[in-house]
Amino acid sequence: MATKQQPQPSAVAQPEMPVQQPVGYPAYPQQYVYADPNKGKAKLLTLEYALAMASTVVSAFLLINVITSVVGLWSDTTSGAIRTVGGFLAPTMVTAGTGIVAASVFTVVLAILACVLFSRVSKAVSDREGYTNRTAYKLVTYGGLAALIIPAVDLIARLVSILISSLLFIGAAGGEVYKSLYLSEFLPYALALAVVVATSYFIYQIIQGRNKSKIMSLVLIAVSVVVLLTGAITIAVKVHDKGGSSTGRSTRQGQDIPSDYESQLKKYRESLKLKQYN
């Protein structure tokens, strides 16, 4: 009797169990560093703001004298051996010929200091509600603007006086007088006035609620660096020219002629012309 075969169960694939990877431990555990929310912000807000504004004003004051001295070097109206550019704010050096460079470097340092302090103040003011309405803030801001108005008026008066003087010399003086008026005086005063007006404009924008302190500081840094490089190059050229001319002195009738004989003779002739017209 044949027996009925029972169906064999088919092989069913069993799901594979995922292989658990061993948990690894870092050799150096991560350290949590506390982030200071006040990093880069002014701690003594009013004091740092006053120092920033004072650095800006003093830098603009120094630029007036430095620009005048540097342009005077090019036009031979300023001696390269000066020890200071003038004013109680300018550093006085011992070695001759280092006054312009010292004042220029001081101007660059003050402009950089103002940029850093204004950056710290700007970050802190946003957290101090109503600080811009305080008396201390207004006193520092308006005081900086008022301090720049005085030299601006003085420079404008000088420029107007030069224009009037040039009209008086028409037909009575040679070209050297106009060269001295416009190249030695009008040009440096106009450049200095541009710096003072630009700085005053930026401070006025701060008063109006627009933070232009960073742009103002960068402009002062750029102008100071340009003036420093120009002054250093000019002094180097003048010193080398003077040294070369002093080694090759000429003689006239057995007597030594000084290296600056031609410039002295030119000034003497100009003085004689002015005496004749007077």
Using 50, 70 and 90 to split pLDDT, how confident is the model at 255? very low
CA dihedral 70, 76, 78, 79 (to 10 degrees): 110
Residue 116: the pLDDT is 92
SS3 label, residue 173 = coil
Instruction: Read off the pLDDT of residues 197-210 as tens digits, 9 standing for 90 and up.
Output: 999 999 999 999 88
Going by C-beta distance under 8 Å and a sequence separation of 6 or more, which residues neighbour residue 186? 159, 162, 163
- Tokens 């002195």 belong to 249
Asked whether residue 149 carries a pLDDT value surpassing 80, the answer given is yes
C-alpha pair distances (Å), 256 with each of 46, 249, 251: 63, 7, 5
Asked whether residue 93 carries a pLDDT value surpassing 70, the answer given is yes
- Tokens 């029972």 belong to 6
Mean pLDDT of the chain: 77
Residue 12: the pLDDT is 53
What interhelical angle do 187-207 and 135-168 show, nearest 10?
A: 160
The verdict on pTM exceeding 0.75 is no
CB count in 10 Å sphere of residue 258: 11
Going by C-beta distance under 8 Å and a sequence separation of 6 or more, which residues neighbour residue 206? 141, 212, 213
Instruction: Read off the pLDDT of residues 56-79 as tens digits, 9 standing for 90 and up.
Output: 999 999 999 889 888 887 777 666
Q: What distance, in Å, lies between the first and last C-alpha atoms of the chain? A: 159
136 - beta bridge partners?
A: none
